[in-house]
Structure 1
Amino acid sequence: MNELSSLTPINQAEIKIGQAVPWTVYDAWGNLLLESGTTVSNEAQLNDLLENGYCSDTIWTDVEKKTAASVTTSVNSKSGTAPEKTVSELNKEAMIELDSVRWHVGEIFYLQVHDNANLRYTVRLVGFVKNKSVLVTAPMIDGKGALIRDGQTFIVRAFPGKRAYAFTASAIKSVFSPHAYLHLTYPKQVRSTTIRQNSRATVKIIAAVSIGDPEQTAAATLGDLSMGGTSGVIKKPLGKKNDLGIIKFKVNAAGNDEFLVLKVILRSVSPTETGDEYRHGFEFIDVPTQAKLILSAFVHQTLAESE
């Protein structure tokens, strides 16, 4: 697993058939797809890289170098006194200008109404008018345009690659012709937080679990979820450590209900605090690409919304 602190999607204009890629290409979780200098040989390979490929974002390399330098200066100025935050902690979050964020048209944004945390919309980025407004598709409810009043404030979030971005913006104006879209205020700064592979989102999801040989089945209440696995409470102990199985559950990712069927290994079984039920720890294995994308979107969205 590659530990790059930030990845940014590959732009179609930056990569062509018959040409060598100028940087190393990873998937969204930091796994190597293509070494720097490798030639893109055919259209199928090109399409795969455009769909799944990310490269290191040099903007974030600069940010993290400056952060590290700042911490070093702080330590020296205090005669070796440890700073309040470590370099690792500071690298997890940064405040940057919107101009530094390399979002692309069509990027999914999540709008959470500031004074009603339960009201959320999924929209897509249309574009920017620098220092004026951010343009997104019209928020929808059950396939119909939502009523957005001018001045309504949102917490806006997006999480491409390995970072979650968030900023506050207000509705300037809803436009309905020739296509419906919304102008949001242009933020001065965007907060960015690194999301790690093992970051766990707190959830409450009912799942169906099948485990072991002979197979045992039961319903589980999942309490947390990450890209690597989950833990669930079951009324009785199910299977034994290292048993293989299947877990099935539904999530809402990017505004859509998605049903996941994932292979798992049972890693732990232990009684809950009350002793009436048993907590089971599962590791996901052989996760298909589409399921990874759904899982990533859901985990990142849940983590961002819990801040």
Structure 2
Amino acid sequence: MPSPSASSRLSPNEVPVGEPLVWSIVGVDGALLFEAGTTVTNLAARSFLFENFEPYKFEEAGADNANDSTQTANANANAGSPGDESSGHLTLDNIGLKIGARLGLRAAPGSAMYSSRVIGFSTPGARRARAVFITQPVISGHQPLDLARGEQVELVALTTRSVFQFACTVDAVCHEPFRYLVLSEPGNIRRLRARKFVRMTTRMPAHFFNASCEERTPQLGLIRDISPFGMSLAVAEPTASLDDRLRLSFRFHTDDTDVNIDCDAIVRHVHEVDAQGINGAYGLEFEKIEPSQRIALKSLMAEQV
């Protein structure tokens, strides 16, 4: 993403309305808000821009365009046979848990969820169950979670297949060559359903147009919250109706990967501008989204635990 300089901060009177921009507008974090050549359609759209973002001027200087497509999440979301889990008996071998997979871990029901990663597996034997090696669980703003041998922990695992929940016992606490845990083979693995994903609050820009109308000029919106299945999108002027189809484009960064998503969403709710002039919003349900992109959204949310 481009990096705006402090001297390029824009004021409202520097952003023309109703004519193509000769430079791009980006946010303070470099996120593209308006590409050069696009148009800020009216005063309401310009007000929305300055009320919700910190816009900067970005002039291309031989660099790649800020709107170039970036690599999407790993297409391994479709890996494996779709019937691997159909028997109902879930194991380490068929849920797709791999080294590097993200884990959420809590020591007691209802306690804080810490973040960890899988770093290895033991080889099972005739009298030895398979063990899972994980990094010491951490959470932002807290000390690393100290656990003792024999404690039982609850884990949520994000894999390329789905999201799973299971329990393990701490078999060993190791300190060399770094701190890590050895967990027992998971018992009673179950798949989490979509409702387990609450909306994650965010402030990401998104571009959209109403695919149900002839006018398809891209507009700027603000993603207020998001899940792998939908979002709340604040807009300058809500003009779409229930069941209209919006074409969405937005990007984010997760697991050291830039993810660019272009998808269709159905308008399920319309919130009009209120009496204080607060922006309207759409409640959107994703209609068509690539499996790898849905996994990337789950990964984004898992980073917040």
Question: What's the counterpart of residue 218 of structure 1?
Answer: 221
In the alignment, residue 127 of structure 1 is paired with which amino acid? F
Q: Please list the CA deviations of residues 93-133 of structure 1 after superposition, one character each: whole Å capped at 9, or x if unmatched.
A: x4656677664444443322325632312221411363484
Question: What's the counterpart of residue 279 of structure 1?
Answer: 282
Q: Please list the CA deviations of residues 132-183 of structure 1 after superposition, one character each: whole Å capped at 9, or x if unmatched.
A: 84322333467x9925131444211224343433222233432122343212
In the alignment, residue 221 of structure 1 is paired with which amino acid? R
Q: Please list the CA deviations of residues 232-257 of structure 1 after superposition, one character each: whole Å capped at 9, or x if unmatched.
A: 15265445444534235x57x5xx58
Question: What's the counterpart of residue 23 of structure 2?
Answer: none
What residue ranges of structure 1 are gaps of 5+ in the alignment?
1-48, 64-93
Instruction: Give, in angstroms, the shift of residue 268 of structure 1.
Output: 2.1
Question: What's the counterpart of residue 209 of structure 1?
Answer: 206
* CA pair 186-57 structure 1, distance change in 2 beyond 3 A: same
Contact 2:120 2:134 in 1 (8 A): yes
Structure 1 CA distance, aligned partners of 2:113 and 2:236? Answer: 37
Question: What's the counterpart of residue 189 of structure 2?
Answer: 191
Q: In structure 1, the residue corresponding to 2:111 is in which secondary structure? A: coil
1:137 equivalent in alignment to 2:107:
no
Instruction: Give, in angstroms, the shift of residue 50 of structure 1.
Output: 10
Question: What's the counterpart of residue 122 of structure 1?
Answer: 116
1:54 equivalent in alignment to 2:48:
no
Structure ranking higher in strand proportion: 1
Question: What's the counterpart of residue 154 of structure 1?
Answer: 153
Length, aligned pairs only: 212
Q: In structure 2, the residue corresponding to 1:295 is in which secondary structure? A: helix
Structure 2 CA distance, aligned partners of 1:288 and 1:101? Answer: 16
* CA pair 274-158 structure 1, distance change in 2 beyond 3 A: same
TM-score (norm 1): 0.50
Question: What's the counterpart of residue 81 of structure 1?
Answer: none
Q: CA RMSD in A?
A: 4.5
Contact 1:124 1:137 in 2 (8 A): yes
Instruction: Give, in angstroms, the shift of residue 297 of structure 1.
Output: 3.1
Equivalent pairs: percent with the same residue? 11
* CA pair 292-176 structure 1, distance change in 2 beyond 3 A: same
TM-score (norm 2): 0.51
Which structure ranks higher in relative contact order (CA pairs < 8 Å, sequence separation ≥ 6)? Answer: 2
Contact 2:105 2:156 in 1 (8 A): yes
Q: Please list the CA deviations of residues 162-221 of structure 1 after superposition, one character each: whole Å capped at 9, or x if unmatched.
A: 34332222334321223432122444x22222757xx78321323323233444323232
In the alignment, residue 60 of structure 1 is paired with which amino acid? E
Structure 2 CA distance, aligned partners of 1:147 and 1:179? Answer: 14
In the alignment, residue 54 of structure 1 is paired with which amino acid? A
Structure 2 CA distance, aligned partners of 1:200 and 1:138? Answer: 25
Instruction: Give, in angstroms, the shift of residue 260 of structure 1.
Output: 4.6
Contact 2:118 2:132 in 1 (8 A): no
Q: In structure 1, the residue corresponding to 2:146 is in which secondary structure? A: coil
In the alignment, residue 294 of structure 1 is paired with which amino acid? A
Contact 1:263 1:284 in 2 (8 A): no
Q: Please list the CA deviations of residues 62-103 of structure 1 after superposition, one character each: whole Å capped at 9, or x if unmatched.
A: x2xxxxxxxxxxxxxxxxxxxxxxxxxxxxxx4656677664
In the alignment, residue 163 of structure 2 is paired with which amino acid? A
Structure 1 CA distance, aligned partners of 2:291 and 2:132? Answer: 34
Contact 2:120 2:133 in 1 (8 A): yes
* CA pair 275-159 structure 1, distance change in 2 beyond 3 A: same
Structure ranking higher in helix proportion: 1
Q: In structure 2, the residue corresponding to 1:56 is in which secondary structure? A: coil
In the alignment, residue 81 of structure 2 is paired with which amino acid? S
Contact 2:163 2:191 in 1 (8 A): yes
In the alignment, residue 202 of structure 1 is paired with which amino acid? V
Contact 1:137 1:181 in 2 (8 A): yes
In the alignment, residue 109 of structure 1 is paired with which amino acid? L
Question: What's the counterpart of residue 31 of structure 1?
Answer: none
Structure 2 CA distance, aligned partners of 1:230 and 1:136? Answer: 31
